[in-house]
């Protein structure tokens, strides 16, 4: 009986420890997305892009196909959203953050742009996050 209780206690401590390890990962990724939302909502596309991996290996998949690289992705955003009115106000919802390792996770969710002049638009996304050099960044974005 004593051994059974000891085993149960060890399992409880282990599962609590694992849950605590996942919490900072989710909080860190949520923080990146909150900073992106704040930047977008003040009309700062370059600030929004700080959540992305600044690499030629970044991949963005959208309605126009594949875009590789941080700068081309930024350029596409600037063409599509030339000013704050076109950008509107961004909200993310239905976020599902799933760790796939200690330094990787994917996020599924919904985006919505409230744009009084141009009309609202919305869609869904799958983001792949990696922790690179201690920072969580989006390395792949499939948005529709």
Taking only the tens place, the pLDDT of each residue in 5-57 is 444 444 444 444 444 455 599 999 999 999 999 999 999 999 999 999 999 99
Paired strand residues for 121 = 113
Q: What is the reported pLDDT for 15? A: 44
Distance separating alpha carbons of residues 120 and 115, to the nearest angstrom: 5
pTM of the predicted protein model:
0.83
Q: What is the reported pLDDT for 17? A: 45
C-alpha closest to that of 98 among 86, 87, 108, 106: 106
CATH, residue 15: 3.10.450.50
Q: What is the reported pLDDT for 3? A: 53
- Structural domains of the chain, count: 1
Res 94 pLDDT > 80: yes
Res 92 pLDDT > 60: yes
| Domain containing residue 53 | 2-143
Name 54's Cβ contacts closer than 8 Å, sequence gap at least 6.
70, 137
Q: What is the reported pLDDT for 2? A: 54
Give me the percent of the chain exceeding a pLDDT of 70. 84
Q: What is the reported pLDDT for 117? A: 87
Res 78 pLDDT > 80: yes
Distance separating alpha carbons of residues 94 and 109, to the nearest angstrom: 5
- Looking at residue 90, the DSSP 8-state letter turns out to be E
Distance separating alpha carbons of residues 114 and 87, to the nearest angstrom: 8
């Amino acid at each position: 009986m004593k051994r059974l209780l000891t085993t149960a206690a060890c399992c409880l401590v282990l599962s609590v420890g694992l849950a605590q390890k996942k919490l900072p990962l989710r909080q860190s990724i949520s923080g990146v997305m909150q900073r992106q939302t704040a930047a977008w909502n003040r009309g700062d596309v370059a600030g929004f892009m700080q959540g992305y991996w600044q690499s030629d290996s970044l991949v963005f998949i959208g309605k126009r196909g594949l875009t590789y690289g941080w700068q081309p992705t930024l350029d596409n955003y600037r063409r599509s959203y030339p000013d704050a009115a076109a950008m509107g106000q961004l909200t993310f919802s239905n976020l599902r953050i799933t760790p796939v390792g200690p330094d990787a996770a994917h996020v599924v969710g919904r985006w919505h742009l409230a744009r009084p002049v141009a009309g609202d638009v919305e869609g869904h996304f799958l983001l792949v996050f990696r922790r690179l050099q201690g920072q969580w960044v989006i390395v792949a974005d499939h948005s529709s």
